[in-house]
Amino acid sequence: MPTTSRQWLLNDHPRGRGIEDGDFKLVETEIGDPDEGQMLLKTHYLGFDPAMKGWMENIADYVAPMNIGDVMRGSAILEVVESNGGKFAKGDIIFGSNIWTEYCLHDGEGLFKVDTDLPPTAHLSVLGTTGMTAYCGLFKVGKPVAGDTVLVSGAAGATGSVVGQLAKVAGCRAVGIAGGPEKCKWLVEEGGYDAAIDYKADDVKAQIKQHCPRGVDVIFDNVGGAILDDMLANIATGARVVVCGGISRYESGGTPTGPGNYFNLIFRRASMAGFIVIDWMAEFPAIRKRIEGFVQDGKLTYQEDIQEGFENAPETLKRLFTGKNRGKQMLKL
């Protein structure tokens, strides 16, 4: 039975700048025995999402504030080491929201037993928040119909790569925007996209017009900034713009510049909406089964980028904002 555990604490709010090493503090804390109804959990994997920077900045009001000295939050796959009448039994592998820690005591609230024929890490990627965000954002907000053109920014990321494949399942044309020839090649050859635009090399607006000659029916935006502006310039009549994230703002500052082409929403009688995926949490089990079926049928593939070593947690998070990750970013302890 472990008596201590390393944890990463929030040491500063990275507002208006990129994440730095000094934003985190590694400490060692004592771990007691589980009380009645508690379990001792061991972390096997941590999951990372761009939204975590918003939590660190303490500006994301859909989650509880993060104060200096709080243990960093995230998603995790854990093992029940001991259970004192807890929600799960000793040896169970579970997943859900937790903290950056090697071991912890927990009552099981917000955690769920791994239930999939896929590798357990799928519960942090395609069956986790990543897959739920892609599915709910596309179908609940974007509402694609067969024959639509769906344009996705950040298309090679963990969420964007799933969005394009779900669009293809729905009978749509999928066009992705990503950075670099390697990512664009993966999108077309393995990720199911019909076309890919390299924003680092191409005139994005001209390429959108070339690959979406009838205009864009559904935009799924993970980036914001200038790329969102270029996408809005080529929307079709009745288009739906799904605002999922704005990774461009995370390095430049906390307040993104509004798109100059927003008036095109009027000209094209289009709509633009943001969403928070937890609004559909009650539907997650059914959505997971549906997505798992797509994977097993060969209609959907996914990537996982797994780093190693608890001491590398901050560096692993930073990978999301430098374009180093390939698919869902995770850390194996």
pLDDT digits (tens, 9 = 90+) for 165-220: 999 999 999 999 999 999 999 999 999 999 999 999 979 999 999 999 999 999 99
Q: Once rounded to an integer, what is the mean pLDDT over residues 284-288? A: 96
Q: Which residues contact 322 (CB under 8 A, 6 or more apart)?
A: none
- Predicted TM-score (pTM) of the model is 0.88
What is the structure's pLDDT at 254? 52
Q: Is the pLDDT of residue 247 over 90?
A: no
Identify the band that residue 326 occupies on the pLDDT scale cut at 50, 70 and 90: confident
Identify which of 114, 164, 128, 125 has the alpha carbon closest to the alpha carbon of residue 277: 128
- CA dist., res. 214 & res. 188, Å (int): 20
Name the band, by pLDDT with cuts 50, 70 and 90, for residue 246: confident
Round the average pLDDT of the chain to a whole number and report it.
Answer: 92
Residue 1: its pLDDT value, please?
77
Q: What is the pLDDT of residue 323?
A: 75
Q: Which two tokens stand for residue 255?
A: 């307040």
Position 120: which residue type? P
Gap between the Cα atoms of 127 and 97, Å rounded: 14
Residues 149/218, Cβ–Cβ less than 8 Å: yes
| Percent of the chain whose predicted confidence (pLDDT) is above 90 | 81
**Amino acid found at 223:** V
Query: What's the CA gap between 166 and 146, in Å, rounded?
Result: 12
Confidence of residue 51 (pLDDT cuts 50, 70, 90): confident
233, burial (CB in 10 Å: exposed 0-12, middle 13-18, buried 19+)? middle
Instruction: Report the pLDDT value the prediction gives residue 50, as an integer from 0 to 100.
Output: 84
Specify the length of the chain in residues.
Answer: 333
Q: What pLDDT was estimated at residue 105?
A: 97
- C-alpha distances in angstroms, 114 versus 29, 249, 278, 308? 28, 34, 19, 21
Condensed to tens digits (0 to 9), the pLDDT of residues 69-110 reads 999 999 999 999 999 999 999 999 999 999 999 999 999 999
pLDDT of residue 250: 53
Asked if 301 and 12 touch (Cβ cutoff 8 Å), the reply is no
Q: Which of 299, 319, 323, 292 is nearest to 308 (CA)?
A: 319
What is the reported pLDDT for 293?
97
- The residue written with tokens 């395609």 in the block is 126
Where does the pLDDT of residue 248 fall: very low under 50, low under 70, confident under 90, or very high at 90 and above? low
Token code pair at residue 194: 């019909």
